[in-house]
Amino acid sequence: MCFEFDALPPDLPADLALPPLAGGAAAEIAELTSADATRFSAALAPMEGDGAAVLILPDVRGLYRFYIELAERFAQAGHPAVAIDYFGRTAGLGPRGEDFDYMPEVMQTRPGQIRDDAAAGLTALAERSGPRPAVAVGFCYGGTQAFLANASSRVELAGVVGFYGGLDTSRWGLKSPVEVAGEMRAPLLGLFGGADQSITPEQVAAFEQALAEAGVEHEIVTYPGAPHSFFDRKQHEFAGASEDAWRRVLGFLGKVGAAALS
């Protein structure tokens, strides 16, 4: 499990948020079409300006309130964002409750299909906000998918960010990010909790070593004492880690976005 169903994304640091937008930054809940004609749900938060686009890859629950609000937070920081759902092929469309049995759906996902859905989400976002470099930001299962997408050409990314992305992927039947590090192309930011029971320091060290050996531009940050899914407004004791993570992510977006446009 990643976030609880009632989790909320941390507020942006006050100095990094843009002035309030007219009409707010409410996300649009849309039905999009993937390359194989599958219909799936997405939350789109368009934004004018020149900030890099953000592709949000959720945890195992797929699209729910946390990621809809997170898309709005990115828009408030000047970055148009789209959060996609993974389960259009198996669970259909629309909102799901706290009792949603997500693991059978997760086990039916395929990385290539997720990347095609991601590409469709970015296309829809570009139609609303104009073309621009895109960065994938994933959480837990989505963090793993962001890392793996960096080794694929099916979705064009200027960078990837993984919040506590799983590095032991055997339970999902996937290649590990460590295994495919040599195929990664874009800069990478990895954010981990030092007290995460599902991602060990040894796994993080092996990932960082593989990235270094492959020559992948990267930064790996571990927050001492922070658990899995620390990036949650309700987790007051980790507010400092969440604020630092916000600053690092937004700095990364600015850096790779500028590099992609130069």
- What average pLDDT is seen over the chain? 93
pLDDT at 67: 96
Residues 17, 76 contacting (CB under 8 angstroms): yes
Q: Which CATH number does 14-261 carry?
A: 3.40.50.1820
CA distance 144 to 175: 10
pLDDT digits (tens, 9 = 90+) for 214-223: 999 999 999 9
What mean pLDDT comes out for the span 107-134? Answer: 96
Distance CA 250, CA 159 (A): 12
The proportion of the chain whose per-residue pLDDT surpasses 90, expressed as a percent, equals: 81
Mean pLDDT of all residues in 46-54: 92
Is 25's pLDDT higher than 70? no
The one-letter amino acid at 244: D
Secondary structure string (H, E, C) spanning 149-196: HCCCCCCCCCEEEEECCCCCCHHHCCCCCCCCHHHCCCCEEEEEECCC
Give the model's pLDDT for residue 20: 63
Q: What is the pLDDT of residue 22?
A: 45
Tens digit of each residue's pLDDT (9 = 90 or more) over 126-174: 999 999 999 999 999 999 999 999 999 889 999 999 999 999 988 888 8
Mean pLDDT of the 86-97 span: 92
Residue 1 is predicted with a pLDDT of: 54
pLDDT band (50, 70, 90) for residue 23 = very low
Domain locations in the chain?
14-261
Higher pLDDT, 122 or 1: 122
Q: Which of 24-28, 95-99, 235-239 has the lowest mean pLDDT?
A: 24-28
Pairing of strands 188-193, 159-163: parallel
Separation of alpha carbons 40 and 115, rounded Å: 13
